[in-house]
A = this chain, B = another copy of it.
């Protein structure tokens, strides 16, 4: 470790299911990639289903405060079939995204050489979804009356603000400047006329500041078609919280499985730490079997490094992952084998 290496504290939240198996590999890759350029200290947080079942805690304030003081977060996955849907998701994962104001949920999709896509003619796939992370239908606004009766009414409210939309739109255009300079807004403005209209107006306004970036618009339903029929048409996809959730899973499938898809929940103003996680879930069906592919988690460590400004270190991970997939992507390996193989190349 060189004397000049910068010091960072990383919160590690393996969470549930396969999250616990893949996160250690993300941490190892982070450590190895940063050798000599950055010094990481890790703070482990025992949060998720086991903890909740043990003592009822989901995200105690004191622990959240400690997480807020770290420089970045590595997260595995959240969700467990023993616990009612929504409790951990809303109480832990979404609470962190919202409280830490991680308004850019960044999700690159790339078809790696050596990966078999389910598409017959996938073409070159290389796009990034910029998903808004702190608004929309994810706010938790809504409720139910006369629950359990024939007269029950349940609502969900999508809240969208110009403040929240404009900052993520600006991020997407800035990102497009570093890429192929095209932004596609995805919404459903022919039905969700209030929110859709606001998104479109703000995109049109921000676009004027980026004359080199072209932009178009697609309805969410049409987008699901193009992701299958012509995924190469996309460069930067810009969309809201729910639509982003939906299309990034479809995108993950199209590039050969969510096992290769990492994501960053980014507070682009750096008031709070950003969080990096594979886009896959806790996968209870294969948890504990040393079967899960740690590649997405390892790639999320690369995103963490990029976020902290260590592009060269991130590149080491990308290069190792690309070589690993190209050579061994089609073989069946355990979690630990894939982890070791990638680490060995770094």
Return chain B residues, CB-CB under 8 Å to A329: none
Q: Is A86 a contact of B196 with CB atoms below 8 Å?
A: yes
Q: What is the 8 Å Cβ interface bit string for chain A, positions 79-99, against chain B (1 contact, 0 not)?
A: 100000110011000100000
CB distance from A55 to the nearest CB of B (A): 22
Which one of A2-10, A145-153, A298-306, A309-317 is at the interface?
A145-153
Return chain B residues, CB-CB under 8 Å to A220: 245-246
Which one of A22-30, A37-45, A223-231, A265-273 is at the interface?
A223-231
Q: Is B155 a contact of A158 with CB atoms below 8 Å?
A: yes
Q: Is A201 a contact of B142 with CB atoms below 8 Å?
A: no
Q: Is A197 a contact of B154 with CB atoms below 8 Å?
A: yes
Return chain B residues, CB-CB under 8 Å to A155: 157-160, 194-195
Interface residue A190 (Cβ < 8 Å from any Cβ of B): yes
- A191-B138, A247-B224 known; A151+B144 contact, CB < 8 A: no
Chain B: CB-nearest residue to A279: B221
A15 to B163, CA, bound (A): 38
Q: Is A195 a contact of B225 with CB atoms below 8 Å?
A: no
A158 to B242, CA, bound (A): 13
Q: Is A94 a contact of B191 with CB atoms below 8 Å?
A: yes
Interface residue A232 (Cβ < 8 Å from any Cβ of B): no
Q: Is B153 a contact of A156 with CB atoms below 8 Å?
A: no
Interface residue A290 (Cβ < 8 Å from any Cβ of B): no
Return chain B residues, CB-CB under 8 Å to A242: 188, 191
Within 8 A of B (CB), among A218-272: 220-222, 224-225, 227-229, 242, 245-250, 252-254, 257-258
Interface residue A308 (Cβ < 8 Å from any Cβ of B): no
Q: Is A156 a contact of B157 with CB atoms below 8 Å?
A: yes
Which one of A69-77, A117-125, A319-327, A332-340 is at the interface?
A117-125
Q: Is A160 a contact of B153 with CB atoms below 8 Å?
A: yes
Chain B: CB-nearest residue to A149: B162
5 chain-A/chain-B pairs, Cβ below 8 angstroms: A90-B193, A117-B120, A118-B229, A225-B250, A228-B254
Give chain A's interface residues, CB within 8 Å of chain B.
Answer: 79, 85-86, 89-90, 94, 116-121, 137-138, 140, 142-144, 146-163, 166, 188-198, 201, 220-222, 224-225, 227-229, 242, 245-250, 252-254, 257-258, 281
